[in-house]
Amino acid sequence: MIMALLVMIFLAILLGLVLGYSAIKFKVDGDPMVARIDAILPQTQCGQCGYPGCKPYATAIAKGEADINQCPPGGDAGAKALAELMGVEFKPLNEEHGIQKPKSVALIDELTCIGCTLCIQACPVDAILGAAKQMHTIIASECTGCELCLPPCPVDCITMEPVLENSESWKWKYPIYNIQKAQKA
Amino acid sequence: MQLKNIFKFNGGVHPDENKSASTRHPIAKLAIPKKLVLPLRQHVGHVAKVKVKPGDQVLKGQMIAEADGNISASIHAPTSGKILKISEEILPHPSGLPDFCITIEPDFEDTWIEKKPISWKKIDRAQLIEALTQSGIVGLGGAVFPTHMKLKINQNQTIHTLVINAAECEPFITCDDMLMRERADEIIQGALITQSILGAEKCVVGIEDNKIESYEALKKAAQKTTVEIKVVPTLYPSGDAKRLIYLLMGIEVPKEKRSVDLGIQVFNVATVAAIYRYLELGEPSISRIVTITGAVKTPQNFEVLFGTPLSDLINAAGGSSSKTKKFIMGGPMMGFDLPSIHVPVTKAMNCVIESSPELFPDPKPVMPCIRCARCADACPVNLQPQELYWFSKSSQLEKAREYNLFDCIECGCCTYVCPSNIPLVQFYRYAKSEIIAQDKSKEAANTARERNEFRLARIEREKKERAERNAQKALGAQEKQAEDEKKSTIAAAMERVKQNQQENVKN
């Protein structure tokens, strides 16, 4: 009886040590769930979800504070992927946060630009180039189309231009064909 | 002609060849058209950099756009004349979307720029490859990959065999066949030059057994050389580079490896002929042989300057005889419908077929897949086309990728044998381009995330630096105050001493 108790206590201490050691040794920095949610989000950094960027929104979803359907650039497809990851029911995009628009990039009318640098400060991905009292321009390849540069512009010289298909970005379409009733032999 | 030591690959099909119509006449030279439209994107890789501006006079063979980076090819003026404009024009591409082109108005004098043949035996390989970068030569079999890149071999690689692809397996196409019949010497010379550039021990030409005249011509031209001519059975797609390597050598190129990794490099017959013309005669890539066949009145092969409108080629072939006016670029297995008859002839255009209801009847009604697996039997790459079809159809793209969708060569054998008439290859093309687009947007999202994180870190750093600066300033102010106090104490003491002295003097 005492022997059995001793063995159990010994085992408990040993396993406790092993668990304690591995908790320190194999500690995961940050929440892996946040990173997985963040990987699904489109990284537009537009803040339409009500959070200051994709990562904060991902953190909020992981904590259960935010819903999965608050990301307009991700659209229904993004909400579906998030629902699958989180194991919850799919909800269509909540239109309070905005609607999904075709991918656009900002364009500065360089004749109107006064060089105030306000848009540079607003850009979440440093995709605007310029200096005080110098003309500004958008680095189109880095622009996520978040529209955050539009409100601060005092002269309204920024417009959003939809990205058009060219011969490089062109995709083969889903095949469409007519299905007919087979004739009797 | 006998078939010896041939390793037959799995699958493949044998559609009606339809090659005889366009081989009745010799290759004819197409007259210089009224205008030439040269797309800047005629090859795989970066768009060429424009070197001319509207109004410039150019000579035949003058470079008008330069290769931009390694994977790119130059473009030369096909004849002398004036640069009319640089504008967006419709390209011979399945999208039918416009892209930038240089338009030349010929002066009909056809004046050559000074031709500079290269003594390739005397200069070293690096210089030779540099020179070929200027040649504008790309793979003329249809892949249009810049040729100089295929000659650039890493130091740890050695090429033991050069394979010359003379299979031309797709129905209707005869441009390589006619080139071999008429210019076998150029091909063999080009093959020998290429072999010496690559440092390959062996050179094998693989030709299908339906091209007897070409075989005889090549045999004759290669008589006193070490070039071996090997006959392969007529079976589509024997002209696919990896299939041809297997047929000739019994070596299967593994997944995600290229044939160069195994010491084998493959060139098309027209490409090696172009290499010969560039190095020996100093003529850059300005024209190619194009087969025009199908429902046109007189199917034939023409030597056509790049940039010639397709309508000129159709007229030269006696005009169209069908009412549909539908033209296919490439062969019936892998080709696509051209968006217009006004597109220019490009480096990739090996064949144009006028489609007519008699030649290509409307596709039969599509029926459900009955899982007969005939497509799997026909697949030369040993894929499971029926699985790929289900995954592509239901847009389960990750699953399709797992089943090696990207190993599919889009040869069309599966579609050809499908008893339910399902357009299988169209599904694979859709799935492939969708996956590529998704990967690209994923990459863009990763860049955006990195840039955003960097920006946040920078703002944080700047904040910290500012705080530090402020703290330093505050500290400085304190020190100064302390010093001031010290100074005033000293001054007061001095004052007292002075007063005492004065008082002493008074006393």
Of B91, B395, B430, the CB nearest to A173: B430
Quickly state the pLDDT bin for A181 (edges 50, 70, 90): low
What pLDDT does B78 receive?
96
Residue B3 binned pLDDT confidence (cut-offs 50, 70, 90)? low
Contacts of A173 in chain B (CB under 8 A): 430
Examine the domain organization and report whether A115 and A158 are in the same domain: yes
Please give the average per-residue pLDDT across B159-165, as a whole number: 95
Residues in Cβ contact with A20 at an 8 Å cutoff, skipping those fewer than 6 apart: none
Establish if A3 belongs to a structural domain.
no
Is there a single domain that holds both residue A117 and residue A152?
Answer: yes
Q: Among A81, A97, A113, where does a domain finish? A: A97
Statement to judge: residues A53 and A89 lie in one domain: yes
The mean predicted confidence, pLDDT, of chain B is 92
Element housing A14 (H / E)? helix A2-25
- Ordered DSSP codes for A127-157: -EE--TTS--EE-TTT-----TTTTT-TT--
Do A111 and A153 fall into the same domain?
yes
End position of a domain, from candidates A65, A97, A129 = A97
Is A65 in the same domain as A116?
Answer: no
For B283-317, what is each residue's pLDDT tens digit? 999 999 999 999 999 999 999 999 999 999 999 99
Tell me, yes or no, whether A74 and A36 share the same domain.
yes
With an 8 Å Cβ cutoff, are B449 and A174 in contact?
no
Question: Which of B95, B425, B453, B462 has the most A C-beta neighbours within 10 Å, making it the best mutation to test the interface with A?
Answer: B95
Distance from CA of B287 to the nearest CA of A (A): 23
Q: What is the pLDDT of residue B187?
A: 95
Do both A107 and A93 map to the same domain? Answer: no
**A180: closest CA of chain B, how far (Å):** 6
Question: Rounded to the nearest 5°, which phi and psi values hold at A108?
Answer: -95, 130
pLDDT-wise least confident of A19-33, B74-88, B102-116, B394-408:
A19-33
Does the ipTM surpass 0.85?
no
Please check whether residues A153 and A109 belong to one and the same domain: yes
Q: Is there a domain that residue A172 lies in?
A: no
Q: Does A43 contact B at CB distance below 8 Å? A: yes
**Span B134-150, mean pLDDT?**
92
> Is residue A67 domain-shared with residue A115, that is, in the same domain?
no
Contact B448 A45 (CB under 8 A): yes
Report how far residue B278's alpha carbon sits from residue B196's, in angstroms, rounded to the nearest whole number.
15
Q: Do the domain assignments include residue A173?
A: no
What's the number of domains chain A is made of? 2
Structural domain includes residue A176: no
Of B5, B18, B237, B278, the residue nearest B128 (C-alpha): B278
Specify whether A106 is located in the same domain as A158: yes
In-domain check, residue A178: no
In chain B the domains, ranked by start, together with CATH numbers, are 20-31+132-352 (3.40.50.11540), 373-507 (no CATH)
Position A116 in a domain: yes
Residue A150: inside a domain: yes
CATH code, domain with A80: 1.10.15.40
Considering the entire predicted model, what is its pTM?
Answer: 0.85
Indicate which CATH number applies to the domain containing A124.
Answer: 3.30.70.20
Q: Do A142 and B437 touch (CB under 8 A)?
A: no
Same domain, A109 and A158: yes
- Last-in-domain residue among A72, A97, A122: A97
DSSP codes joined into one string, B79-121: SSEEEEEEEEEE-SSTT--EEEEEEEEE-SS-PBPPP----TT
Q: Taking CB atoms and an 8 Å cutoff, what residues of chain A touch B366?
A: 177-179
Q: What is the extent of the structural domain holding A143?
A: 102-164
Residue A126 within any structural domain of the chain? yes
Pairing of strands B202-208, B161-166: parallel
Q: Are residues A122 and A109 in the same domain?
A: yes
